[in-house]
Structure 1
């Protein structure tokens, strides 16, 4: 029943026995039934526990205290402990007067709560009515109520149970159980299913009549889980409704209901129920047939729903249903079909539906009128709404709600056992040991058996990690990750060096999960895993995006199709999105000019959330930090902002988790979880989000993707194919000392280099000039917005440059902080401070790191007080140090993660320097299209030509040119040339002549495609006059190449007009026809009515001589390249500069990147200009020959020059460089 996590007792402490567990106590233990952790302590007099040990156990995840007695245990939940926590450190925490629950054996947490609740006196006043037809926000389209809002209203009305019956989904079940347990209310798990006659019927494409029929041909039926079997059956039926029945919505049919009816209770549903729809159409016989069918499926488990809303149709339906229930002997059931929490939320519900349907709220009135009673009512309201049916009917319908809830006793129970790779933990341990020993040669020579030096360090580190993995049962998890990572590496798929804290594990390195030797790089295992940390460790593994399907395919093949599934996600309305949604939904109610104002609000939110790495901010934090900027808009639009506060964070739609995959090594996941489909995809995902999946004991594996790995993968493949040479990045040793690579980085040539190719990264490279991997790791840590904005980056650089003295808060921290010049930039340094100065153990140190990183104010204050009590240094210095730790932790980075990113940065720089053509091909193939021009420019710097598409040398995407040291554009790089056309064109390669091409090109390469390729120069090797070829193609398109020589649009002497076309043929000269028998002249034929080839005087024009047409000039060609490809290839406007001027200005542009602050003159092309939101200044983007620059244009210069900033214009710019960036001094078009 219980398993030991860790003992806090001294070595000589006596043992206690609880069930099968024998251990020294106090100790942290875990119940294997529900995963709850307890602080197990012997009984003291008075009854209690030592406060400091309890505080430690709580940090380690304890949910309460178990007090060991001779004949059992007493259990106290944490919230009751907190009410009696007034004892001072070192004192006994007196629990003698605290309510406790007594058990002979270890209880589950739920059993403790049940016993304590049952013992409460006086008992809680209970309602006779409970809600059984309730929609939460998990109902797509129209559910507004959050689970906590539903439970708030349920408890306010004194109701003892609640069912959630969301439309077609079970996504809300886990949150229902958590919220209901917290509120002391019984959860009932249900679903409002979409029912049809045949779930597999689909309309043929184009059959709009059948499509419209099927779109609306469904009914609603409510299903409730009576027991565990019923819960599994509801989940399975819901999964099938998505997998086989999805057509506009997830549909079940009668067959589905029948196969999954065991343990399920049903009700007839709302106005859309199968019986209700038949009654509404006046077909009582059909209503009886459907009711009978439901009775056959759910014998003794079918209820007839009555609802108290006041729609006329509902009133008529209720009366008919009462009669049918009496006729068939079925119980009545009062339900509300609530969609929002309270009556006051009706308007918010209308607005929410408008947001969900992309309409104005005034257009949504017909869907849900505000006066409908679709909220969480109290019993009196339900009785009043049904009173017209008579007291007996109402009493029965109300009483049956609690009767049905009493029948439903299903619970979502999890499996807290850790995963096993082999099915036997002992075998998992043996295999992991064998795998690591087999890879011991990955370590330095000094670590090998028999060697001196660091061999003992590696051995001791390995044993320490393995002991903890065995103790916590994590060997199987390691093996599962190592299995798919090893498979990928063995099949030529690149794997990231080790995102996250997993790089701190030596066992992971030896198991080939990571590429980081944590001993060599001084990476901390305890940042990844400690004895006191609850839950599994979490390996984040990166793969190329192009290879993710292969990884998932392997996992499904390895474990089974039904054992591997991606995790679903919940897409919630964020701050900016809620404003934008409400601008549209409330458009008819907003004054003129509101849209422009609220666009400014969106911009403010973007700027406020810019430093959150895409996570955004809570609405409360947004207002706490930016109220001064937001309040004027809130005063102007109070209803919109009030509604935004009401709706922000609501569930908008469902998606797929970017990386999370669940793997079961045992039973199929369909036995564990409800699934759903994603639009357009066959593979299913869980209906539950990541946290809910993990809460029931299923293991999440992160199959992450990183586009940089696609770039590296493609580079490695090209080097292998082009140069017949394999590069093993993981084997790099001397390669990390390549001076050319460090010169490239120190020269601020960062384009394409992972994490530092940004503007701020380039400038930091210039200032810092990193020379080894450790400095590169520091750089990717301090280049982030947080450290840069806080001044931490500047402090680090000044100390490193000797401009600021390096000092330490305490001399004992020298070893920890000296490598980073006294700056606390890594989370591991915060952990080290607590251990060195305050004697914290590894779990306590990790707890401090976690709460500081999560910015939990109350927890930080409490932890700070504990630190100040335990630290061995003067009080004032200790307070100053704690404040520094709290501040640095806002931006602190995980050191293992930093080293992994440093490896990736170096790999990209190494490949760029040593294999520039292959790297450029890969980079241009994998970056966003609008960034390709930057790499074209970089190619010029690296002396690699970039050539336009060629009909024989190009295919799909960029590729190395077969005949030159160059990168060749792909045929599909031209907008309008699709993959099907490229496939047809490649099938016919090579083409020897233009005629050969026109004869053999595939049908997808139509005239439009050919014209586009001709314009960009793809046929220049077949036809040496591009302009002439374009004229020929245009003539063919317009029909001019077949135009009669006599046809003229304009008038000509002697011409006749034939249907608005002037014909210059002299029709009078046409010989008169003669009768061949008599020789007499016949009447002349009438003139033709149309100018066509059928005309008797049609004369074809001579073939077009394309060489008679003047070819494009070099300036024309480069203009077309920029027009078609977004960049210059054959020449640039800089070629028009004098040789000496160009060399001088180019040197200035190169020096600008690495030189000191000062004034520089550069030749550049204007790429864009935009005003600051104040309108008083602006920003100018300039493209020099070597880089893209962004300069601020201050008020005076902006006022004078902004009209002359013509996109594409060549100019001479005088720029001033300071620590804050570039600004424009003067501007002169050239």
Structure 2
């Protein structure tokens, strides 16, 4: 028997079985062939085919299509199975039609696509329904299907779940119509033990819960893949073995091959009917002339290389491909859409450079064409294009309009059930409420690679599962089975495919949310099947660059500023890299990278490129050797002197794949094409190919008069490094973009910060870092202003940056737009009365206006924020009474009752809540003045090389836990003016300082700097903590500050019993001052005079805090006479 109707996880949220699991189960249970028939889609087609071939099984490609019935308007499943290549292409069309048309088709609608396909009217389909209700119409239905194809291709599906009389009716109907019955058992999961996980994933797809998990778990399994022998015997026992035989007949007559399609690249429409290769040569020659214009360099190497590259491109038939890419880039440049300097190996092509597809001179940087397009590798070229994230849509629209909607598609990708998401999903189906789900999710550790690792590594997670009101172990085991399965389809970030013919001829497609075509196969299968793929990656850094350049070009004498012409050896820019001041600089922002830059101290663009290439998993192990060799603290040692020139820029270390190729070329006489094959084999650790090519390498080296032993050493040397080598073409191109951004940051900081702040406007963490940094660079940041702010950050004529209204959290977009539109149409808001009067009625609510007030956007009206907040309701009430009469409103406007402003810390807190940054000051600023710069380090300047650093931080979050031994400890997140830091406080220190670990408190912390495990961030292991208030007290005392009186605090017995003392200690530190404190205990009349560390201020806030804690009658402050 052959299973002919199986659904996998690619029938999204209907099955927990992957194509690979289906093949494995089929192989283990005695099947020689199996079909894949997912619902309506062919998402899993390629994976299924490859898995079957690898297992030496026969794959039968198919589809379970939901079609409108032939005798009813309801939809029913029909199974299509491929007979041959014609049927394969028709299957692509059928799935494409189903997924691109608004209305569900009927089988009749698909008549032109039925050749080469077997049709099964399944046991759960329309025919079975008709047989049970109106059997006289069953013959008509089958005859209608036959009329669309022929009887030999139509099968009537029966299953062991059918009643015997229904099976008998099917047999008679098949005999009468000349069709055949066939065993049609639906398979949704591989084993009976998977039934419950199948139910869970189906309930997830339906948005339902399982009311009784225990009962559901005990239900019998039916839709699993049974043993071949068991199914065959059962059919034979019931006297319908012919149905089994017909599954084998279908398999024997089904043959399809998934080969690389002979997909034709669309022909580029050249002017005057020129051939593609002639037009490409013309464009390239003209482009070379333009590129070399006014450059004092020898053109001969460029001309020779251009000729050779064009020869290879034309021989491989890729002239049209280059012209299409050129055409798209030419359109982009005409529309002032900035494109990146290059991406991937394409930067190694001179043709791409002279066509302005890339902006990196491959000869100047010794980049290799064969790394990009190797005539000995016979692969499609892959030119990836970076474009600003806000302009990608224009490029897609051009492709569709120019080349045709049916010939262009974006590439699908699948969001999978990652460990945290799958736990939440399964918990939801188990009926847990949102709070329970959140708590379970929060108990999971961060940074683990899988759900199983989280379970094994985290006792809190295991305990959280045990504490659930449902079976936590079952929940975990179910989630484990579903982890990694596709949950929904989405779009690949960059991929686009293009064809000379409608794509559905080669690839199943569907409609995306925007109405454009999307492939049903993801990136890997698309490439494997030979379709022309291009990547248009939306890169926000290009938008940042574009915004900054437009600002620079507004500066007198810089109107023609061209970033492409700046020197890549600019000293100010290199200094910025050396200091690790690379926040906002593409690919150089991470803490680890900044740490490397401060060690490396790059003094050339080559060093920047190398750092970019090295700071990745694998090659990262060579960084310290690279740094040591650069600073001549480690000897440069290579196996042979001939390698020294090749490896000189990287201090004797192989950093780039191209260096492997150069060594193979110059040391062993390989062609660059052969060298690329060797490089590829080594990077993929293809030991068979490496062994085969090693012999050629040794022979080639000896032919060039190298000693065999040295040749062996050189081969071993490059093999060791090759697996970590990085694509130099990509590193140079992306480092150039990084350098351009860094150049602007170094020379035009205001323009730079305007660009990065607008790009990160919704990311308060980044905003805080950039604004703090901008202030240090003497860039003035103005708070949001009702009369001067636009949506985003803007720059005034003085070079000051004005925060935009979009910077304010809680301010609705339509409200922001209404405010700006009214200002543009009616002029600036003159005063508060004028503002409220012009405000649309739907926005006249205090809750709508609070964000503006707290953010300081209404400061221009001349009242402090607390006054504005307290008076706003009166103004709103007055305009409500006045209606549309402004004169009446002005007469009804209440008198402004002015009050004192919020205390500074409270005011700053509101600013931070609504803007993500402190503008009017920073909570740590008073404390910084108490500590010389030499005695502390800014967070931004911390490196792992610092064994003991002291920082002043403002606490944002405290997480207290217990160790395995039960001892308390804490993790503290804090900030200073330059960044944020995570601090670990182990039990011994925690016991001493626990009262100080309170949000919104300033601390002086000394500790060791380490790299956080599994994260690109630093952390501090604290060994000493001092309260910021104690620091101020020391300063005050040393400055001769004189107390103005004494505090008397009575501790009632009831308060003492309630544990007030630790709270009192913390409150004393929060309100530190010069005035001594005397504690008087009610219980035993003890009196304790506290030392200066716990002196108090003499202000109203201190009195209020103490009275709130101890009671109004228990707090007295006596001033000195």
TM-score by length of 2: 0.78
1:1207 is aligned, of 994, 999, 1003, to: 999
Which residue number corresponds to residue 1227 of structure 1? 1026
Residues 947 and 1130, structure 1, Cα contact 8 Å, conserved in 2 = no
Residues 939 and 951, structure 2, Cα contact 8 Å, conserved in 1 = no
- Indicate yes or no: 2:915 matched with 1:1125: yes
Give, in whole Å, the separation in 1 of the partners of 2:81 and 2:878. Answer: 74
Which residue number corresponds to residue 334 of structure 1? 183
TM-fit CA distance, 1:807: 1.8
Q: Matched residue of 2:568: which SS?
A: helix
- Indicate yes or no: 2:288 matched with 1:440: yes
- Indicate yes or no: 2:773 matched with 1:773: no
Residues 268 and 323, structure 2, Cα contact 8 Å, conserved in 1 = no
Structure 1 residues 1107 and 351, CA, compared in 2 at 3 Å: closer, same or farther?
A: closer
Instruction: Give the stretch that moved more between structures: 1119-1128 or 570-579.
Output: 570-579
Give, in whole Å, the separation in 1 of the partners of 2:765 and 2:376. Answer: 49
Which residue number corresponds to residue 243 of structure 1? 100
Q: Residues 208-234 of structure 1, C-alpha deviation per residue, up to 9 Å, x if partnerless?
A: xxxxx99xx532112234555544443
Q: Matched residue of 1:1164: which SS?
A: strand
Instruction: Give the stretch that moved more between structures: 257-266 or 556-565.
Output: 257-266
Which residue number corresponds to residue 932 of structure 1? 767
TM-fit CA distance, 1:374: 3.6
- Indicate yes or no: 2:869 matched with 1:1030: yes
Give, in whole Å, the separation in 2 of the partners of 1:642 and 1:1029. Answer: 57
Structure 1 residues 563 and 420, CA, compared in 2 at 3 Å: closer, same or farther?
A: closer
Give, in whole Å, the separation in 2 of the partners of 1:140 and 1:717. Answer: 46
Q: Matched residue of 1:565: which SS?
A: strand
Which residue number corresponds to residue 1184 of structure 1? 976
Instruction: Give the stretch that moved more between structures: 976-985 or 807-816.
Output: 976-985
In structure 2, the gaps of 5 or more residues are 467-471, 882-889, 1012-1017, 1030-1121
| Superposition pairs of residues 895-906 of structure 1, within 5 angstroms | 895-906=728-739
1:745 is aligned, of 559, 564, 577, to: 577
Give, in whole Å, the separation in 2 of the partners of 1:1004 and 1:292. Answer: 65
Residues 864 and 901, structure 2, Cα contact 8 Å, conserved in 1 = yes
Q: Matched residue of 2:448: which SS?
A: helix
Q: Matched residue of 1:822: which SS?
A: coil
Which residue number corresponds to residue 306 of structure 1? 157
Q: Residues 777-828 of structure 1, C-alpha deviation per residue, up to 9 Å, x if partnerless?
A: 112122335444x2x1111111111212222222111011121111222222
Structure 1 residues 197 and 292, CA, compared in 2 at 3 Å: closer, same or farther?
A: same
TM-fit CA distance, 1:1160: 5.3
| Superposition pairs of residues 382-401 of structure 1, within 5 angstroms | 382=232, 384-385=234-235, 387-388=237-238, 391=239, 394-401=240-247
Structure 1 residues 130 and 985, CA, compared in 2 at 3 Å: closer, same or farther?
A: same
Q: Matched residue of 1:526: which SS?
A: helix
Instruction: Give the stretch that moved more between structures: 867-876 or 327-336.
Output: 867-876
Residues 446 and 454, structure 1, Cα contact 8 Å, conserved in 2 = no
- Indicate yes or no: 2:355 matched with 1:511: yes
Q: Residues 1176-1216 of structure 1, C-alpha deviation per residue, up to 9 Å, x if partnerless?
A: 86655443334444555556434433542333323334455
Which residue number corresponds to residue 628 of structure 2? 798
- Indicate yes or no: 2:284 matched with 1:427: no
Q: Residues 1143-1175 of structure 1, C-alpha deviation per residue, up to 9 Å, x if partnerless?
A: 746985399559985755544323445579967
Give, in whole Å, the separation in 1 of the partners of 2:999 and 2:683. Answer: 45
Residues 927 and 1028, structure 2, Cα contact 8 Å, conserved in 1 = no
2:91 is aligned, of 223, 230, 234, to: 234
Residues 1027 and 1109, structure 1, Cα contact 8 Å, conserved in 2 = yes
In structure 1, the gaps of 5 or more residues are 1-128, 200-212, 609-618, 1044-1099
| Superposition pairs of residues 532-551 of structure 1, within 5 angstroms | 532-551=376-395
Q: Matched residue of 2:341: which SS?
A: coil
1:277 is aligned, of 126, 129, 145, to: 129
- Indicate yes or no: 2:307 matched with 1:463: yes
Residues 122 and 184, structure 2, Cα contact 8 Å, conserved in 1 = no
Structure 1 residues 598 and 887, CA, compared in 2 at 3 Å: closer, same or farther?
A: farther
Give, in whole Å, the separation in 2 of the partners of 1:584 and 1:457. Answer: 66
Give, in whole Å, the separation in 2 of the partners of 1:1134 and 1:1114. Answer: 12
Q: Residues 1082-1139 of structure 1, C-alpha deviation per residue, up to 9 Å, x if partnerless?
A: xxxxxxxxxxxxxxxxxx998532244344455553332112112111222344358x
Q: Matched residue of 1:267: which SS?
A: strand
TM-fit CA distance, 1:485: 1.9
Residues 1003 and 1027, structure 2, Cα contact 8 Å, conserved in 1 = yes
Give, in whole Å, the separation in 1 of the partners of 2:283 and 2:214. Answer: 63
Q: Matched residue of 1:700: which SS?
A: strand
Residues 180 and 187, structure 1, Cα contact 8 Å, conserved in 2 = yes
TM-fit CA distance, 1:1002: 4.0
- Indicate yes or no: 2:630 matched with 1:782: no
- Indicate yes or no: 2:27 matched with 1:170: no
Residues 715 and 922, structure 1, Cα contact 8 Å, conserved in 2 = yes
TM-fit CA distance, 1:732: 1.5
CA RMSD of aligned residues (A): 4.4
Residues 755 and 905, structure 1, Cα contact 8 Å, conserved in 2 = yes
TM-fit CA distance, 1:912: 1.7
Structure 1 residues 421 and 1178, CA, compared in 2 at 3 Å: closer, same or farther?
A: farther
TM-fit CA distance, 1:479: 1.8
- Indicate yes or no: 2:320 matched with 1:528: no
2:836 is aligned, of 986, 998, 1016, to: 998
Give, in whole Å, the separation in 2 of the partners of 1:726 and 1:887. Answer: 51
TM-fit CA distance, 1:858: 6.4
Residues 646 and 659, structure 2, Cα contact 8 Å, conserved in 1 = yes
Residues 661 and 701, structure 1, Cα contact 8 Å, conserved in 2 = yes
Q: Residues 606-644 of structure 1, C-alpha deviation per residue, up to 9 Å, x if partnerless?
A: 7x9xxxxxxxxxx9xx99xx99999x999x999999888
TM-fit CA distance, 1:652: 4.3
Structure 1 residues 549 and 380, CA, compared in 2 at 3 Å: closer, same or farther?
A: same
1:1149 is aligned, of 938, 951, 954, to: 938
Q: Residues 439-479 of structure 1, C-alpha deviation per residue, up to 9 Å, x if partnerless?
A: 224545687xxx7x532222222223222222222222222
TM-fit CA distance, 1:764: 2.0
- Indicate yes or no: 2:960 matched with 1:1164: no
Q: Residues 528-555 of structure 1, C-alpha deviation per residue, up to 9 Å, x if partnerless?
A: 2222113112112211111111111111
Give, in whole Å, the separation in 1 of the partners of 2:642 and 2:431. Answer: 63
Give, in whole Å, the separation in 2 of the partners of 1:197 and 1:685. Answer: 27
- Indicate yes or no: 2:828 matched with 1:977: no
Which residue number corresponds to residue 1091 of structure 1? none
Q: Residues 396-450 of structure 1, C-alpha deviation per residue, up to 9 Å, x if partnerless?
A: 4334434545665565564436625437998222122111221224545687xxx
Residues 424 and 437, structure 2, Cα contact 8 Å, conserved in 1 = no
Give the number of aligned pairs.
Answer: 988
1:911 is aligned, of 744, 748, 759, to: 744
- Indicate yes or no: 2:75 matched with 1:218: yes
TM-fit CA distance, 1:559: 0.8
| Superposition pairs of residues 31-42 of structure 1, within 5 angstroms | none
Give, in whole Å, the separation in 2 of the partners of 1:1001 and 1:587. Answer: 46
| Superposition pairs of residues 760-1159 of structure 1, within 5 angstroms | 760-788=592-620, 790=621, 792-856=622-686, 884-927=717-760, 928-960=763-795, 962=796, 964-989=798-823, 990-993=827-830, 994-1002=832-840, 1005-1007=843-845, 1008-1022=847-861, 1024-1035=863-874, 1104-1112=894-902, 1114-1137=904-927, 1141=930, 1144=933, 1149=938, 1152=941, 1157=946
TM-fit CA distance, 1:899: 1.1
Residues 223 and 266, structure 1, Cα contact 8 Å, conserved in 2 = yes
Structure 1 residues 861 and 353, CA, compared in 2 at 3 Å: closer, same or farther?
A: farther
Structure 1 residues 546 and 423, CA, compared in 2 at 3 Å: closer, same or farther?
A: closer
Q: Matched residue of 1:687: which SS?
A: strand
